[in-house]
Structure 1
Amino acid sequence: MRRPASDPSNAILLEAIERLGKKQDDFMEKLLEVEKSVASNSVLISDLTLRIDAVEKYSENTAVKSGKMDSQLSSLVAENKRLWDKVDELDAYKRRWNLRISGVLEEEGENVKMIILDIFRQVSPGLADVLQSSIDVAHRLGPKLGYTRPRTIIVQFLSRSHRDRIWADARRSEVLKQKKIRISEDLTERTKEARNKLWPLVEKARKEGRRAGFGGPNAVVDGKRISADDV
């Protein structure tokens, strides 16, 4: 009997099976490659995870160290401010025995101490007999600038009470106004800076008829002390 035309021959079936087997082999090879790639990626991912963990741990340690450093820095800044405040306080205390005199014309070969004694005797006549022994040092500050701009004179007293008496009398002295001579406190640079910052506040209060002045580096308005940090 004849084989039906629709039945594939053995050769065709074998060829089909071989093609299918080859496709399976190709698929298995690709699958193995994928598995190898996955395994390789797994190793890379594991290594990356370890690295990330190490970085996170390092970051945490760095953050802790940074926090400690910030705390130490804040402590050092506070300590530095405290020390500077102490130095300024000691400097200001030492200067309480001093007065500055500006506006006194310079002369060649002048005796500064005798010039100051003469001025102070006019400012505080009641101290005329004790001023000679009350003043320790009197000299001009800085290099000579010429006679058109007289240098300021610094005076250091042995007696704090005599210094305070002259300072009080100088505020209402007509002699100083006539001679255009100004007597002022010997302030530290920090106190000067603080007062310059607070001066508009003091000036405004005075214009309003309120009691205003300075006490050390602070402004005093109607009995209330105001620091430069408050402005």
Structure 2
Amino acid sequence: MPSDKRKERSDIIDTSMDVHDYAFSAVNEFDLCVTSLPVTPSKPPVPKKGKPVSPDEAIISTLSSLINTRSDALEGMISPNSLKIEGLKKTIDFVCAEVQDLKKNVKDVDSRLKDQERLMSTWETRISDLERYSRRWNLRLFGVPETFKDDIRSEVIRICSKTYPEAKNKYPDVVDTVHRLWRRDDNTKPCAIIMQFTSQVIHNALWKAANKSQFFKDTTCASRRI
């Protein structure tokens, strides 16, 4: 009996050993199969091909964005001032209307001023003619001494009577005005005397006689037309 049991155990052991050997061989073959397979690298996913963006389009896009931003900012700045701008426009229109009125007034004044200038020119010409005409009635007398209380008119009548005695009795009526001129410098000579006559005939006769008068040659007096 004991020998039979040992035999059974040995059979069992042998059988188990046979099983283990097969199992090991199968496992080894599986390991070899696993380890012998090559490692295949994984490829990255292919990106989708889109339309390429050119540099010009990028610049245009950036500029458009900046322009839009600035436009919005300017619109925000201008909008609050719209009422002020409208008020300024009304003020400018009013000022322009006033300027137009002033231009019209200035034009009228300019026209009147030109008329006045023409009148002034005419008056100046007439005054010059009158002065020249009045000077024809005058004579200038030099060298008459100055005294403290001199009666210039009486002295002039005396000199005229000595120069042209033919009109001796007419001189008090013919000699109209007599006056001395002012002194223009520090000259010590007596100031000249202006004589105005009311008769052109006696004025001319006295002037001609004075040019040849012995009285003027003997004295320091001299006569001259103005």
Q: TM-score scaled to structure 2, two decimals?
A: 0.48
Higher strand share: 1
Larger RCO (alpha carbons 8 Å, 6+ apart): 2
Q: TM-score scaled to structure 1, two decimals?
A: 0.47
Higher helix share: 2
